[in-house]
Amino acid sequence: MFAAIGTAAGTQPFNDWFAPDTTQRHVLGLKVTAVDPYWGLGEFMYIKSADAIVKGSLVMWNGSFNGALLPSTAGQGFPFGVAMAPMASGTYGWIQTSGRVVYKTNATVAADTAVAVAAAGIVGTLASGKQLCGVRNTHAATATVTATAFTTIGTASVVCPAGYDGFFLGAALSGTGIPGSTVVAALDPDGRTIYTGSAIGTTGDKNSTATGTITLTGTYTGYGSGVVMNPFAQGQIL
């Protein structure tokens, strides 16, 4: 889990287990540096959403730090960050502007490639005038992460004794006793418990069908991961 290492005290959490809400806790535009043992060093900006943002959306902002989905147009030049969690319009939360991020994709973008904005807030294959500058894709949608986990029949909680590092909201889950089309619906602040469901924020409809110790696999289906550093959409080509 990311932990702040800057001078700000008591920041609203920017980890996957926090749900953005309508209470403003910081000055908009605040930037905080944080570190995680798996994801590494990252920088996060506090914004107010003016759009329907999903986990991993590319989010641009205006001078008042109101965030909206990055449009899929050429030559726009907007700076952007990546949403840490779903944000309804009017809620406050964090976007990541540097470090390793997980973003929504609409294509299986190969690892170690440049990428572009392919739909509103969505990453896709490289296209003229739409490149995402300051971004390098490192993990395709076929990438996986695994952990030893314990399941209990009839429950939506899967416990990883060594921690759930590498798993993220929306990751597709598979393993013995895990129903088809299950995703990470929520993550517990204890750093070990994954809640299963059919969608982010929806639990109880994809409960374990067996009790026991399994190898739990999380697949990036619908997502990619890359390294970003103050990224921006490609500007005009002359």
Domain ranges of the chain: 3-138, 144-219
- Give the DSSP H/E element, type plus range, for residue 93: strand 92-104
> Residue 105 pLDDT more than 90?
yes
**To the nearest whole number, what is the mean pLDDT of the chain?**
93
188-220 pLDDT per residue, tens: 999 999 999 999 999 999 999 999 999 999 999
- Give the DSSP H/E element, type plus range, for residue 149: strand 144-151
pLDDT band for position 18 (cuts 50, 70, 90): confident
Neighbours of 63 (CB within 10 A): 6
How big is the CA angle at 143 (ends 233 and 163), to the nearest 5 degrees?
A: 105
> Residue 33 pLDDT more than 80?
yes
- How confident is the model at residue 9, as a pLDDT? 58
How big is the CA angle at 219 (ends 134 and 139), to the nearest 5 degrees?
A: 25
Output the pTM of the full model.
0.91
- How confident is the model at residue 8, as a pLDDT? 58
How far apart are the C-alpha atoms of 204 and 152, rounded to whole Å?
Answer: 13
pLDDT band for position 45 (cuts 50, 70, 90): very high
- How confident is the model at residue 19, as a pLDDT? 80
Backbone angles phi, psi at 235, to 5 degrees: -90, -160
Q: Are 51 and 69 in contact (CB under 8 A)?
A: yes
pLDDT band for position 4 (cuts 50, 70, 90): low
pLDDT band for position 2 (cuts 50, 70, 90): low
Neighbours of 18 (CB within 10 A): 16
How far apart are the C-alpha atoms of 187 and 196, rounded to whole Å?
Answer: 9
Task: Identify the CATH assignment for 144-219 out of 2.40.30, 3.30.1760, 2.60.40, 1.10.540.
Answer: 2.40.30
Distance of CA 144 to the CA centre of its chain: 15
According to DSSP, the residues that pair with 210 across neighbouring strands are none
In Å, how far are 29, 89, 161 from 24, measured between CA atoms? 12, 13, 35
Distance of CA 64 to the CA centre of its chain: 23
Q: What is the mean pLDDT of residues 79-95?
A: 95
- How confident is the model at residue 186, as a pLDDT? 94
Backbone angles phi, psi at 192, to 5 degrees: -130, -25
Question: Of the candidates 176, 144, 148, which has an alpha carbon nearest to the alpha carbon of residue 162?
Answer: 148
66-78 pLDDT per residue, tens: 999 999 999 999 9
- How confident is the model at residue 210, as a pLDDT? 97
Lowest average pLDDT, out of 4-8, 163-167, 229-233, goes to 4-8
* Residue 63 neighbours by CB under 8 Å, 6+ apart: none
pLDDT band for position 6 (cuts 50, 70, 90): low
pLDDT band for position 234 (cuts 50, 70, 90): very high
